[in-house]
Amino acid sequence: MTDILVEADRASRTYKRGATAVEAVVAASCRVEAGSRIAVMGPSGSGKTTLLRLMARLDAPTAGSLTWPGLRAGEPLRPAQIGVVFQTASLIPALTSVENVELPILLAEERAGVCRDPPRHRALAALAACGVEPMADKLPEQLSGGQAQRVALARAMAAQPRMILADEPTGQLDRAGALWLIDRLLDWADRAHAALVVATHDAAVAERMRSVWHMDHGRLEAHE
Ligand code: ADP
Ligand code: MG
């Protein structure tokens, strides 16, 4: 099995807005391999979120292509194979924190037909890894912005995906909190042999990664 988890070949995504077209991502070529630690930096509007959505197969390119050679073909990519941390609030409002985190575990296991540790235990462990186990029984509306981001990160880790795509996962945290959470994410990725792609504005967060990609007006500079 190849080590390349996702590869983009001159992938573009253009949005039509009335008569005009917004070129959110322009001919991006890049690859994420097992064990990659990548920061994606760039000003607001430069295309970071669009690129992550393409890599998660939440969206399709309008030109060029993306392939996922190292992931199981013919199976949905999420949540068993790719964990996503969205930039905006994404917890399900009617479910508690631990139920939000349990959901992808249940979906992944239903597909794989395996039953290891009970899903609730694994969800609680993921919450503990992100420092929010005490919030397990709280609803999203009872959480601060930073706590909600930690729960969302726990949810992305919970089903042990091979790659996490995190879109500004520390945007609601102060510097110390951001670095603490990124270090938890790195610890988890080392243990799970997973790849990380983290869009961030924070140079200190980006410094924790091995590679830094830059985006500007939809153009990606991807260094190994
Ligand atoms: P970033 O995450 O770096 O802030 P985005 O990927 O969100 O950048 O946006 C890149 C560009 O695409 C921006 O000009 C944005 O306004 C535009 N864009 C993003 N999503 C949409 C959409 N659903 N419809 C129209 N334009 C969009
Ligand atoms: Mg964004």
pLDDT tens digits, residue range 24-69?
Answer: 999 999 999 999 999 999 999 999 999 999 999 999 999 999 999 9
Atom 10 (ligand 1) nearest CA? 47
pLDDT value at 70 more than 90: no
Between CA 160 and CA 224 the distance in angstroms is: 24
Ligand 1 pocket mutation, candidates 17, 41, 50, criterion most atoms within 8 A of CB:
50
Ligand 1 pocket mutation, candidates 49, 84, 200, 214, criterion most atoms within 8 A of CB:
49
Residue 210: what pLDDT? Answer: 95
The amino acid at residue 22 is V
Which of 85, 81, 113, 88 has the alpha carbon at shortest distance from 101? Answer: 85
pTM: 0.93
Q: 3-class SS at 222?
A: coil
**β-pair partners for 165:** 84, 197
CB 188 within 8 A of CB 129: yes
CB atoms within 10 A of CB 17: 8
